[in-house]
Amino acid sequence: MSPSEIGYALSGAALFSVAMQALLFTTIERIFGFTWCYRAGLLAFSLAFFLTPFVGLQGGKVVLWIELVGVLVLKTVANVLGLTCAMLLVHPNLCFAER
Protein backbone atom coordinates (compact mmCIF):
# COMPACT_ATOMS: atom_id res chain seq x y z
CA MET A 1 0.00 0.00 0.00
CA SER A 2 1.17 3.49 -0.70
CA PRO A 3 1.46 6.07 2.07
CA SER A 4 -1.57 7.94 0.74
CA GLU A 5 -3.68 4.77 0.86
CA ILE A 6 -2.61 4.12 4.45
CA GLY A 7 -3.54 7.71 5.26
CA TYR A 8 -6.99 7.24 3.71
CA ALA A 9 -7.56 4.10 5.76
CA LEU A 10 -6.50 5.74 9.03
CA SER A 11 -8.46 8.93 8.38
CA GLY A 12 -11.57 6.86 7.63
CA ALA A 13 -11.11 5.01 10.92
CA ALA A 14 -10.76 8.35 12.73
CA LEU A 15 -13.96 9.68 11.16
CA PHE A 16 -15.79 6.50 12.16
CA SER A 17 -14.44 6.90 15.70
CA VAL A 18 -15.71 10.46 15.99
CA ALA A 19 -19.11 9.50 14.57
CA MET A 20 -19.44 6.52 16.91
CA GLN A 21 -18.41 8.54 19.95
CA ALA A 22 -20.81 11.35 19.09
CA LEU A 23 -23.81 9.38 17.88
CA LEU A 24 -23.80 5.85 19.25
CA PHE A 25 -21.81 5.61 22.48
CA THR A 26 -24.36 7.25 24.77
CA THR A 27 -27.17 5.04 23.49
CA ILE A 28 -25.10 1.86 23.76
CA GLU A 29 -23.91 2.78 27.25
CA ARG A 30 -27.43 3.54 28.49
CA ILE A 31 -28.75 0.23 27.19
CA PHE A 32 -25.93 -2.03 28.37
CA GLY A 33 -24.10 -0.09 31.11
CA PHE A 34 -20.46 0.84 31.67
CA THR A 35 -19.28 -2.56 32.83
CA TRP A 36 -20.69 -4.47 29.86
CA CYS A 37 -19.30 -1.88 27.42
CA TYR A 38 -15.88 -2.13 29.06
CA ARG A 39 -15.90 -5.93 28.77
CA ALA A 40 -17.05 -5.76 25.14
CA GLY A 41 -14.28 -3.26 24.43
CA LEU A 42 -11.65 -5.58 25.90
CA LEU A 43 -12.98 -8.46 23.81
CA ALA A 44 -12.92 -6.29 20.68
CA PHE A 45 -9.33 -5.23 21.44
CA SER A 46 -8.33 -8.87 21.76
CA LEU A 47 -9.97 -9.79 18.46
CA ALA A 48 -8.51 -6.78 16.64
CA PHE A 49 -4.98 -7.46 17.89
CA PHE A 50 -5.31 -11.15 17.02
CA LEU A 51 -6.57 -10.45 13.48
CA THR A 52 -4.15 -7.63 12.61
CA PRO A 53 -1.19 -9.83 11.52
CA PHE A 54 -3.42 -11.69 9.08
CA VAL A 55 -4.52 -8.59 7.15
CA GLY A 56 -3.34 -8.74 3.55
CA LEU A 57 -1.87 -12.23 3.61
CA GLN A 58 -4.13 -13.55 0.87
CA GLY A 59 -6.24 -12.11 -1.90
CA GLY A 60 -5.97 -9.00 -3.97
CA LYS A 61 -6.32 -5.32 -3.30
CA VAL A 62 -10.09 -5.46 -2.69
CA VAL A 63 -9.70 -8.21 -0.09
CA LEU A 64 -6.90 -6.22 1.55
CA TRP A 65 -9.15 -3.16 1.89
CA ILE A 66 -12.04 -5.22 3.27
CA GLU A 67 -9.78 -6.84 5.85
CA LEU A 68 -8.12 -3.54 6.75
CA VAL A 69 -11.39 -1.68 7.16
CA GLY A 70 -12.82 -4.54 9.23
CA VAL A 71 -9.87 -4.59 11.63
CA LEU A 72 -9.79 -0.78 11.90
CA VAL A 73 -13.53 -0.63 12.63
CA LEU A 74 -13.14 -3.33 15.27
CA LYS A 75 -10.22 -1.43 16.84
CA THR A 76 -12.25 1.77 16.78
CA VAL A 77 -15.20 0.11 18.51
CA ALA A 78 -12.79 -1.23 21.11
CA ASN A 79 -11.28 2.23 21.63
CA VAL A 80 -14.64 3.92 22.06
CA LEU A 81 -16.20 1.26 24.28
CA GLY A 82 -13.20 0.08 26.26
CA LEU A 83 -11.17 3.21 26.89
CA THR A 84 -14.10 5.56 27.44
CA CYS A 85 -15.77 3.20 29.91
CA ALA A 86 -12.45 2.51 31.65
CA MET A 87 -12.05 6.20 32.38
CA LEU A 88 -15.64 6.53 33.55
CA LEU A 89 -15.41 3.43 35.76
CA VAL A 90 -12.15 4.62 37.34
CA HIS A 91 -13.48 8.12 37.97
CA PRO A 92 -17.23 7.71 38.49
CA ASN A 93 -17.58 11.04 40.27
CA LEU A 94 -16.65 12.89 37.10
CA CYS A 95 -19.94 11.90 35.48
CA PHE A 96 -22.36 11.50 38.33
CA ALA A 97 -21.53 14.17 40.87
CA GLU A 98 -24.08 14.46 43.63
CA ARG A 99 -26.03 17.69 43.70
Q: What is the reported pTM? A: 0.77
44 inside domain: yes
CA 35 to chain centre: 16
8 inside domain: yes
62 inside domain: yes
99 inside domain: no
76 inside domain: yes
Whether 35 shows a pLDDT value over 90: the answer reads no
Give 39-92 pLDDT, tens digit per residue.
Answer: 999 999 999 999 999 998 988 889 998 899 899 999 988 988 888 888 877 765
Range of the domain at 76: 3-94
- Tell me the Ramachandran region of residue 2: left when phi exceeds 0, alpha when psi lies from -120 to 50, beta otherwise: beta
